[in-house]
Amino acid sequence: MKAILQRVLALAAVAIVVTGCATPTPPPHNDYTAFRQADPRSVLVVPVVSRSVDVDAPDYFLSTISQPIAERGYYVFPVNLIKRVMEDDGLGDANLVHGSATPKLAELFGADAVLYVVIERWDSKYAVISTTTTVELSYSLRNGKTGDELWKHSETMAYDPAGGQNGLLAKAIVAAFEKAKPNYIPLAKSVNGLSVARVGRGLPAGPYDAKYKTDQQQY
């Protein structure tokens, strides 16, 4: 009896392994026709338009956007250098930049594609023991030569800095600490990271990624 039970357990475990990770039918991915045709190698991130009253939101965004795009295999122009040089060139106003022609801007820096991001929402609801911050960002990547849109995405996320903690006391301590000096780098990192890297929805592998031009099944 014991032997049979063991055998059943073993089979069940194997069955879990077989089915556990497999996604039966991959969800239909975005249309990447224009993206594949443009085949951009480099991405220029221009000043972000923010509709939030939170003055820190654009800084959180800018600090965490380079890494995920570079890890997808693209050259990302140095965001701080670009920010300062654009300010010196009279292009520091995000609304103005978002409203002007892409090719001219791309040519100025030699960029294949330009990323325009709008922070639609970034607000915090304070409660007794925790704070929930909800953010919504929309992304638009445009062809540096034609200005045509290559990729479009919108991401919404709610974040509770105390979420991972157990027990009320721990939560209270974290909330007090976060209220004093909130750090939303992890949140900004997640939003940018998920937007760029989600299979079928994010950016296809770029020229510095091993899967470059071989990921048509996913993208």
* Interface with another protein (CB under 8 A): 3, 6-7, 9-10, 13-14, 16-17, 20-21, 41-42, 56, 59-60, 62-64, 66-67, 70-71, 73-81, 84-85, 109-110, 112, 185, 189, 197, 208-209
C-alpha distances in angstroms, 130 versus 33, 55, 121, 173, 186? 44, 21, 19, 9, 16
Pick the closer one to another protein by CB: 31 or 181.
181
Tell me how far, at minimum, the Cβ of 166 lies from another protein, in Å: 22
Do the Cβ atoms of 19 and 11 come closer than 8 Å? no
Give me 102's structure tokens: 């892409």
Pick the closer one to another protein by CB: 69 or 171.
69
Pick the closer one to another protein by CB: 66 or 130.
66
Pick the closer one to another protein by CB: 37 or 183.
183
DSSP string for 105-153: HHHHHT-SEEEEEEEEEEEEEE-SS-EEEEEEEEEEEEETTT--EEEEE
Tell me how far, at minimum, the Cβ of 128 lies from another protein, in Å: 27
Tell me how far, at minimum, the Cβ of 12 lies from another protein, in Å: 8
Give me 28's structure tokens: 């239909």
